[in-house]
């Protein structure tokens, strides 16, 4: 009886190990074969208290959802310590300011003030976002 119980536990442990190994191998393989698809980084520098900046929030959300994986959205609030540093880094004069970076992180377009969605889409399409 002890032999059967010990054998069953060993078989169960080996079975669990095999399933875990297969699951992890599948994840690693998928991660290695999936290319980095972010083509554009859309940096919005503004504030949650600024009215034109608030008007940009639904646009950023819509772009993020429609171009998921191709466009990365980053928002910096200039009224926070980190946001002030980022505003200095990007030489921000007014808010909101939109800075568009290519896949290599190089700025290729900048806009100051409210930026309608159609115009944002036109700018991200410049880099091949579809």
Strand-strand pairing, 40-46 and 97-101:
antiparallel
Full-model pTM = 0.71
**pLDDT tens-digit profile of 84-122?**
999 999 999 999 999 999 999 999 999 999 999 999 999
Average per-residue pLDDT in the chain? 84
d(CA 53, CA 58): 10
Checking if the pLDDT of 14 tops 80, the result is: no
Specify the CATH architecture of the domain 40-125: 3-Layer(aba) Sandwich (3.40)
**pLDDT tens-digit profile of 37-46?**
899 999 999 9
27 band by pLDDT with thresholds 50, 70 and 90: very low
What end-to-end distance do the CA atoms of the chain give, in Å? Answer: 65
The reported pLDDT for the residue numbered 18 is: 55
C-alpha angle with apex 36: 35 to 39, nearest 5 degrees?
130
For the segment 10-34, the average pLDDT, to the nearest whole number, is: 48
Query: Under a CB-based contact definition with an 8 Å cutoff, are residues 78 and 45 in contact?
Result: yes
For the chain, the structural domain boundaries read 1-34, 40-125
């Amino acid at each position: 009886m002890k032999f059967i119980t010990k054998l069953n536990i060993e078989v169960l442990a080996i079975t669990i190990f095999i399933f875990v190994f297969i699951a992890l191998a599948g994840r690693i393989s998928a991660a290695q074969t999936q290319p980095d698809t972010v083509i554009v980084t859309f940096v919005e520098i503004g504030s949650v208290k600024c009215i034109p900046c608030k008007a940009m929030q639904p646009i950023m959300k819509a772009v993020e959802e429609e171009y998921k994986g191709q466009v990365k959205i980053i928002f910096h609030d200039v009224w926070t310590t980190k946001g002030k540093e980022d505003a200095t880094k990007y030489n921000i004069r007014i808010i909101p300011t939109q800075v568009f970076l290519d896949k290599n992180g190089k700025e290729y377009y900048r806009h100051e003030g409210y930026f309608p969605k159609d115009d944002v889409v036109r700018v991200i399409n410049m880099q091949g976002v579809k």
